[in-house]
A and B are shown apart, each in its own frame.
Chain A
Amino acid sequence: QLQLQESGPGLVKPSETLSLTCTVSGGSISSSRFYWDWIRQPPGKGLEWIGSISYSGTTYYTPSLKSRVTISVDTSKNHFSLKLSSVTAADTAVYYCASHLYTSGWTPADYWGQGTLVTVSS
């Protein structure tokens, strides 16, 4: 059974770059069957999908964040990462990593990390 764990700074200054890593255990990030996602949730608000990446590096991003987001995968470390540049207070949120199968089409995320709160403040 897959387990995902987010890690990274809990506090980021405005205009700087938010960087998070999701470490995968119980399975290989190199599996062609999976896509790996980042999703965020501002305090007290709903869920926002940020983007997905395959083991080979194919990425999909939500348009509203596309200019500031980079998702990458490191198969040697069995983890994938999120970078969000030029952050503002509006980027304060719990950031989740998740995984879902891609077979003959998309499927919903069925494995999630516990989430990590990132606060943007000076």
Chain B
Amino acid sequence: DIVMTQSPDSLAVSLGERATINCKSSQSVLYTSNNKNFLAWYQQKPGQPPKLLIYWASTRESGVPDRFSGSGSGTDFTLTISSLQAEDVAVYYCQQYYTTPFTFGPGTKVDIK
């Protein structure tokens, strides 16, 4: 199985400031034939299902605000919230869909400082 790790476990950021979450996979999730990273980011708020934010490591899902951005390739990835808003308080998960079993990172909780 591909093991996904995230750092930090939690972070508190002031409103309007940048939040950065890191994700690392135990093996590359880059499919070289199409140069796509099979890496997604989800946002989960309490009592709600996860919401897809980013796929192919850096493509925003339709309707996701542009303050959310994803970067990275191979085994190291980053989710950045450029200007934290109150509604961004949530747990964020990375997931690899390169191969089954699809695996998630343990999550990073984002709060307001």
Contact = CB atoms under 8 A, between A and B. Distances in A.
A96 B101 CA distance: 16
A110 to B, nearest CB: 5
A62 B79 CA distance: 26
Which DSSP category, helix, strand, loop or mixed, fits chain A's interface?
Answer: loop
B108 to A, nearest CB: 10
A108 B52 contact: yes
Interface string B54-71: 010000010000000000
Interface in A75-122: 96, 98, 100, 104-110, 112-115
B38, B100, B103, most chain A CB atoms within 10 A: B100
Interface stretch (B11-19, B80-88, B90-98): B90-98
Interface in A16-74: 46-49, 52, 60-63
Interface residues of B, number: 28
A40 to B, nearest CB: 11
A77 to B, nearest CB: 22
A55 B107 CA distance: 31
B102 A46 contact: no
Contacts of A47: 42, 44, 50, 93, 95, 104, 107
A46 B99 CA distance: 19
The 10 closest A-B pairs by CB, nearest first: A108-B40, A112-B49, A62-B101, A60-B100, A49-B102, A47-B104, A106-B97, A110-B52, A46-B106, A108-B55
25 contacts: A46-B104, A46-B105, A46-B106, A47-B44, A47-B50, A47-B93, A49-B102, A60-B101, A61-B101, A62-B1, A62-B101, A63-B101, A98-B49, A105-B34, A106-B38, A106-B102, A107-B55, A108-B52, A108-B95, A108-B97, A109-B52, A112-B49, A112-B50, A113-B49, A114-B48
Given A47-B107, A105-B31, A106-B102, 12 more contacts: A46-B105, A47-B44, A47-B93, A47-B95, A49-B101, A62-B101, A96-B49, A96-B50, A105-B34, A106-B99, A114-B48, A114-B49
